[in-house]
Amino acid sequence: MPVSSPAPASDRAASPLSADHLLYLTDQNLRQGIELLFFAYRDFTSDPDAILQEMDFGRAHHRVLHFVGGNPGLTVAELLGILRIAKQSLARVLRPLQDQGLIAQRVGEKDRRQRRLFLTEAGAALEKRLQEAQRRRMRAAFQAAGPEAVAGFRRVLELMIDESERGRALSMIARS
């Protein structure tokens, strides 16, 4: 393939394949994006972490509370698929949540083999407290960034989900 000379500056902005347009794909920019994601996640989870630490719980407990809270009646099998963890790992997290009266497990009405998960009143109160801490941080960032940046951020996050899982994840998000 022949090498072409760079397009004039006036044409570069309009060309979706110009070198200037692809500068965001450099290894340095990608590394910085990864680091920003790490720092953002650290701070995004810091408030809930402090709340959960008081109860001797961690992030795995938070994830279970989050997904059960947003999807009442979620089956254990569905939760295992969402979290991509082993049944034994989930059992270690679920047991204390049930023992503390935060999650109730019920047998499925149509299929008695199913175990459906629900937040109790205390579980819903805790999940709301955890969400409020994260919503404050996210609301402030969204407000400062503006609607176009938020739409772009959401699109990037959607595209980071494995393509084979994206449709399922997005439909779950839309329902919650």
Tokens of 99: 């023992």
Distance CA 75, CA 62 (A): 17
- Torsion-angle region of 62 (φ positive above 0: left; ψ -120 to 50: alpha; else: beta): alpha
Q: What is the mean pLDDT of residues 105-131?
A: 91
Query: Does pLDDT of 29 surpass 50?
Result: yes
- List the single range of 7-16, 65-74, 122-131, 152-161 with lowest mean pLDDT: 7-16
Q: Is the distance from CB of 104 to CB of 98 less than 8 angstroms?
A: yes
Q: What is the dihedral of CA 35, 37, 39, 42, to 10 degrees?
A: -140
Reduced 3-state DSSP string for 37-105:
HHHHHHHHHHHHHHHHHHCCCCHHHHHHHHHHHHCCCEEHHHHHHHHCCCHHHHHHHHHHHHHCCCEEE
Q: Is the distance from CB of 52 to CB of 131 less than 8 angstroms?
A: no
Tokens of 58: 């961690």
Tokens of 129: 């407290």
User: Which residues have CB under 8 Å from 23's CB, separation 6+?
Assistant: 29
DSSP 3-state assignment of 117? strand
pLDDT tens-digit profile of 136-164? 999 999 999 999 999 999 999 999 999 99
What is the CATH architecture of 26-145? Orthogonal Bundle (1.10)
Q: With a threshold of 0.85, does the pTM exceed it?
A: no
The pLDDT assigned to 114 comes to 84
pLDDT tens-digit profile of 47-64? 999 999 999 999 999 999
Q: What is the Cβ-side half-sphere exposure of residue 75, based on CA atoms within 13 angstroms? A: 12
